[in-house]
Amino acid sequence: MTFDPSSEIQDYQVFGEFGDVNPSISDSSTYTFLQAETMEELFEHEITGCFLYSRHWNPINKYLSSALATLENTKAAQVTASGMAAISCALLQLCCQGDEIISNRTIYGGTYALFKNFLPKFGINTKFADLKDLATLTALITDRTRLLYCEAMSNPLLELADLPQLAKIARDHGLTLVVDNTFSPLIISPARLGADIVIHSMTKFINGTSDCVAGCICASSEFIHQLTDVNTGAGMLLGPVLDSFRSASLLKNLHSLHIRVQKHSANAAYLANRLETLGFRVFYPGLPSHPQHELMKRLMNPGFGFGGILALDVGDRQTANKLMVLMQEEKVGYLAVSLGYFKTLFSSPGHSTSSEIPREEQEAMGISNGLIRLSVGLDNDIERTCKRMESCIERVGLLQTSMS
């Protein structure tokens, strides 16, 4: 049966304290009690509708968390102050000293740095592998392996994780499958494909206005309870709380996500097709030339397209830099990191968002020096944007080269 997460979100309804259509933002770090015993009880376990201290929980973070659980079809969720807070808290909750992570090798540079440089300080080590190669992955599993980690659609090369296959391997070996779904909200529903924990950097598509940093962890009620336990939970003790005001704006933006994702996808598909026709090497899962196009069609929920991100190889770093500056001047978009904004954003991953990954490893993954990642905006007239981009491409002398 097909799943439509946008209908689930549409049915997610909350009433503010005065019947407000947007629930009120509680502008308090602490909450009063009429009975001292209730306060004591709340330290022991959650009491529905009762709040103690905003770093633990507050009403708007509860609302946003349950809307996100609805989006990802999980039983529960916790919102966090960034995507990295979501990843680090989830992993520190799952892993103990001596545990091992097996991670896909193409992941966001910050996550790579967390695994490679930071977690080893706590005795948690990561083996990086190409998770498309299931035999190699299986051979890496030892009795120390605790979890498999991947991005549903990888940053920046738009590789797909074969989630049903990975979920089977995880189940067979008693591992937890953790999936970062930042690039493909609504498009892919990892929990329905077997993931145990789904993470987002909400800084990106879910918020969509590039005005805040936020994240979330969607998982079973049991895991979210562990994470938010005041005595032992990483989600409480590391203090990744999301500010209530941001939470409120995120909740509102979540309700237009389906329309934005459809438009981002349609615009990205247009550009990807055109750039490929011009002779460029384009990475976009909606193109039949993408090696995992068929897998993508099996994984995706219908109606949201193939996503708003594409990558384009223009050969070398100098040309990439020249082209991006020109594209900014000609109002194609902004030379900036991040993604999911209503305007087009572009950057060179090898020298920005993936720069934490050593150059030789980048080359092995396929992140070339001339790679440009584009997060395609909500332009009403993408043909006009495309013509501007083509004129920039021509001005850096690429059109003939790429077509020859």
Contact positions toward ligand PLP, by CB under 6 A?
Answer: 82-84, 108, 110-111, 151, 155, 180, 182, 201, 203, 213, 215, 353
Residue with Cβ nearer ligand PLP (54 or 106): 106
Residue with Cβ nearer ligand PLP (110 or 285): 110
Residue with Cβ nearer ligand PLP (213 or 378): 213
Residue with Cβ nearer ligand PLP (309 or 326): 309
The least distance separating ligand PLP from the CB of residue 189, rounded to whole angstroms, comes to 17
The least distance separating ligand PLP from the CB of residue 182, rounded to whole angstroms, comes to 4
Q: Is 96 exposed, middle or buried (0-12, 13-18, 19+ CB in 10 A)?
A: exposed
The least distance separating ligand PLP from the CB of residue 145, rounded to whole angstroms, comes to 22
The least distance separating ligand PLP from the CB of residue 332, rounded to whole angstroms, comes to 21
Pairing relationship of beta strands 145-151 and 176-180 according to DSSP bridges? parallel
**Which DSSP string corresponds to 215-274?**
EEEEE-HHHHHHHT-TTT-HHHHS--PPPHHHHHHHHHHHTTHHHHHHHHHHHHHHHHHH
**Which DSSP string corresponds to 290-351?**
STTHHHHHHHSPTTSTT-SEEEEE-SSHHHHHHHHHHHHHTTS-EE-S----SS-EEE-GGG
The least distance separating ligand PLP from the CB of residue 180, rounded to whole angstroms, comes to 5
Q: How many CA atoms lie within 13 A of 186 on its CB side?
A: 30
Specify whether the backbone of 77 is left (phi greater than 0), alpha (psi in -120 to 50) or beta: beta
Residue with Cβ nearer ligand PLP (90 or 378): 90
CA 210 to chain centre: 14
149 three-state secondary structure: strand
64 three-state secondary structure: helix
> What residue is closest to ligand PLP based on CB?
83
List all residues 6 or more positions away from 18 whose beta carbon is below 8 Å from its beta carbon: 24
Instruction: Name the nearest CA neighbour of 161 among 188, 127, 185.
Output: 188
The least distance separating ligand PLP from the CB of residue 2, rounded to whole angstroms, comes to 25
Query: The tokens of 5 are what?
Result: 């997460």
The least distance separating ligand PLP from the CB of residue 253, rounded to whole angstroms, comes to 15
Residue with Cβ nearer ligand PLP (74 or 375): 375
Calculate helix-pair angle for 257-277, 382-395, nearest 10 degrees.
40
The least distance separating ligand PLP from the CB of residue 45, rounded to whole angstroms, comes to 30
Query: The tokens of 382 are what?
Result: 């993408």
Query: The tokens of 14 are what?
Result: 């909350």
Residue with Cβ nearer ligand PLP (152 or 312): 152
Residue with Cβ nearer ligand PLP (43 or 245): 245
The least distance separating ligand PLP from the CB of residue 84, rounded to whole angstroms, comes to 4
Residue with Cβ nearer ligand PLP (354 or 368): 354
What phi and psi, each to the nearest 5 degrees, are found at residue 21?
Answer: -70, -30
